[in-house]
Amino acid sequence: MLELRLVQGSLLKKVIESLKDLVNDANFDCSSTGFSLQAMDSSHVALMSLLLRSDGFEHYRCDHGNFPMGMKLENLSKILKCAGNDDIITIKADGPGNDTVTFMFESPSQEKIADYEMKLMDIDSEHLGIPEAEFHAIVRMPSSEFARICKDLSSIGDTVVISVTKEGIKFSTKGDIGTANVVCRQNTTVDKPEDATIIEMQQPVSLTFALRYMNSFTKATPLSNTVTISLSSDLPVVVEYKIAEMGYIRFYLAPKIEE
């Protein structure tokens, strides 16, 4: 028996919208830790890791140990679009051996209650071990600013070079029409803490990434006012959006390397 009640149902809607362009189908894992997912895009260039901690749910019951639920994200997205932004979402499943999951949407006033049953799928997914890494640079900046930069640069080029030095974080691209460089300096003298750009650098780092993936990651912008970009040479970049009081969504992107 699995029963998860999420008062802020819009969080789940936003999470799925941020994943569905990159992930076709995935196993959602339910354990005492929380509701989680790890999935790669079909090219195995990006990896997505989601955690919604159990204590962030109003009610969290998961009796069957680790219980994977395979879902096609396009179908899940269709169903979650039927939930109102203010709705409370309850996820119910009977446990291993049952091939459906039920989503119940309650309006805040309890006047409208809807349930949608969706078929589960068997998904043969590979789970990767993500080692704890020491990052050469960790940058926290407004998520809307990061989204804007990725969008702007993708009208010029296909790849972005992200460099962190003591001057700041620099995003550079080049294409047929020319080049672009955007530098964001550390800025902690802001009225609101979420508007700050904070750079923690152990050593300078510079890596090249496909902009198409970065742009997909920014679909998670509605989840958080800030984004954290963690870089190490010879490691995938980690782009993390914290999910208020509940957990995170992390996007790992393998760098482009010199031939």
Partner 1 sequence: KCLQSRIMDYFSRE
CB 145 within 8 A of CB 158: no
Q: Going residue by residue from 146 to 185, which x/- string records binding to partner 1, judged by CB under 8 A?
A: -------------x--------------------------
Residue number with CB closer to partner 1 (111 or 259): 259
> Which residue type sits at 67?
F
Q: In what order do the strands lie in the sheet with 179-184?
A: 179-184, 168-174, 159-165, 205-210
Taking alpha carbons only, the member of 177, 182, 248, 252 closest to residue 216 is 252
Using rule CB under 8 A, residue 36 touches partner 1? no
Residues forming a β-bridge with 200: 138
**One-letter identity of residue 44:** H
Render 224-238 in DSSP notation, one character per residue: -SEEEEEE-TTS-EE
Nearest approach in angstroms of CB 235 to partner 1 is: 6
Site string for partner 1, 213-252 (x = CB under 8 A): ---------------------xxx---------------x
Among 2, 15, 37, 46, binds partner 1 (CB under 8 A): 46
- Minimum CB separation of residue 34 from partner 1 in Å reads 18
Nearer to partner 1, 222 or 255 (CB): 255
- List the one residue from 122, 124, 126, 132 that touches partner 1 (CB under 8 A): 126
Strands (DSSP E) contained in 54-97 are 59-62, 67-72, 88-93
> By CB under 8 A, how many residues form the interface with partner 1?
25
Q: How far is 149 from 143, CA to CA, in rounded Å?
A: 10
Q: Does 128 bind partner 1 (CB under 8 A)?
A: yes
Alpha carbons within 13 A on the beta-carbon side of 60: 16
Query: Site for partner 1 (CB under 8 A): which residue of 40, 120, 156, 196?
Result: 40
Rule CB under 8 A: is residue 45 a binding residue for partner 1? Answer: yes
- How far, CA to CA in Å, does 176 sit from each of 157, 171, 208, 213, 254? 8, 17, 18, 20, 24
**Single residue of 1, 44, 59, 245 touching partner 1 by CB under 8 A:** 44
Contact residues: partner 1, CB under 8 A: 40, 43-47, 126-131, 159, 208, 210, 234-236, 252, 254-259
